[in-house]
Amino acid sequence: MSVGDVELRQLVPHVLSVLVRRGADFATAEDAVQEALTRAVAVWKVELPSDPQAWLITVAWRVFIDLTRSDTARRSRETRFGHEPKTGVVPNVDDTLHLYFLCAHTELSPSSAVALTLRAVGGLSTRQIAQAYLVPEATMAQRISRAKRVVRQSGFDSGGDLRTVMRVLYLIFNEGYSGDIDLAAEAIRLTRQLATSAKHSEVDGLVALMLLHHARRSSRTRPDGRIVPLADQNRSQWDAGLIAEGVSILQAALARDQVGEYQAQASIAALHADASCFEDTDWVQIVEWYDELRRFADTPIVRLNRSVAVGQVDGPLAGLAALAEIDENIPRRDAVAAYLHERNGDLELAARLYAAAARNAPNVAERDHQTRQAARLNQLPRGP
């Protein structure tokens, strides 16, 4: 199954929920649905069934029965699961949201919750998820297997809260675009589904935030993979349609006067998207939104980003003063300090900080970017 098989994967949550409602345990039902998807890819190339959802439910149910049979428990299991549902007779109940909560169980690590969500709700194979995370398939299989054991032991009525679900989806989005699965696009698709079910301002804010960030995707890197800073991005490459949709969703969410973390982040992204060039950015409002965001998530990364915005409004020294409140060991702090010192004319110190940022970079692309920044400053002539 490829990334383009969105219509097929959209059937997964409903098919899985039907099996679970009929008494199947989550882990075995999920395996059965995956096997049904694999068969669908092969069979549907020859002939598409008149009712694809009913076809998947029927096949997945048969696979589930096969998986649950054993010599010692054949009779009791066949008594419990032996009657096959009639084609097309499926209650019109949307359990997608319930599945999100189940996959975002509080006992799961964030990475395991993300992987389980992609497989059980997103319909991706273990191989595809492993490639997206750049880990061996066996490693991902073990991670998903452990996650399913936790869910099996907890039961279908246990799971995480809405904020946990949103966090999982945001983590999926922030994984970016590695491997042959576009995790950012997959996160947007899943979050749209959640927004439809949840009817919650913060979920709408998360959708808006993803769309506004995703709109800048094509301008964030050069063809050779080099990072392009926001100030240097070609804004004509930004997706105006995604920006308009994101802003519209955000405005509707803000109108409910239930502002939260994701709406605040989306508001900052919208202000960046609204500026025709970097110099026209409304940095005053951005600082105000960062102050609002700190009420909900006063994290180091929020403080780092706020210090950059303060530096744009009140000058680099003010930005450095705001940066001084942040622990020196926080990732990317050196990069922000280097940028502010460069703007203040402290080129030698800025070059050293860019080099330090490169040594501590979380990925190759960022390491190379910070290395080039240091080299650029080191090549500039110094004063007497």
DSSP code per residue over 93-130 = ---HHHHHHHHT-TTS-HHHHHHHHHHHTT---HHHHH
pLDDT digits (tens, 9 = 90+) for 87-105: 444 444 456 677 888 888 8
CB 283 within 8 A of CB 304: no
Whole-prediction pTM value? 0.79
The residues near 55 (Cβ < 8 Å, ≥ 6 apart) are: 40, 49, 87
Q: Which of 316, 368, 322, 307 is nearest to 347 (CA)?
A: 316
Cα separation, 382 vs 190, in Å, equals 52
High-pLDDT (> 90) share of the chain, %:
48
Query: Does pLDDT of 16 surpass 60?
Result: yes
pLDDT digits (tens, 9 = 90+) for 111-164: 888 888 888 887 778 888 887 777 899 999 999 999 988 887 766 555 677 888
Task: Return the structure tokens found at 89.
Answer: 């007779």
Task: Name the burial class of residue 344, with classes exposed (0-12), middle (13-18) and buried (19+) by CB atoms within 10 angstroms of its CB.
Answer: middle
pLDDT digits (tens, 9 = 90+) for 299-346: 999 999 999 999 999 999 999 999 999 988 888 999 999 999 999 999
Query: Does pLDDT of 371 surpass 60?
Result: yes
Q: Which of 18, 63, 19 is nearest to 37 (CA)?
A: 63
Alpha helices, DSSP H, located in the chain: 6-10, 12-21, 26-44, 52-68, 74-81, 96-103, 110-120, 126-133, 137-154, 162-174, 183-198, 201-214, 240-254, 261-274, 283-296, 300-314, 316-323, 333-343, 347-359, 364-378
CA gyration radius for the chain? 24
Summarize the confidence of residues 244-253 as an average pLDDT. 98
Identify the DSSP state of 22: T
Alpha carbon 214 to its chain centroid, in Å, reads: 11
Measured CA to CA in angstroms, residue 306 lies from 56, 286, 322 at distances of 49, 8, 8
Cα separation, 284 vs 311, in Å, equals 11
Residue 227: strand pairing partners: 221
Q: Which residue has the tokens 């998947």?
A: 56
CB 198 within 8 A of CB 162: yes
**The pLDDT of residue 270:** 98
**The pLDDT of residue 93:** 46
Which of 121-130, 150-159, 253-262, 360-369 is predicted with the least confidence, judged by mean pLDDT? 150-159
Summarize the confidence of residues 234-258 as an average pLDDT. 97
Query: Does pLDDT of 76 surpass 60?
Result: no
Query: Does pLDDT of 168 surpass 50?
Result: yes
High-pLDDT (> 70) share of the chain, %:
88
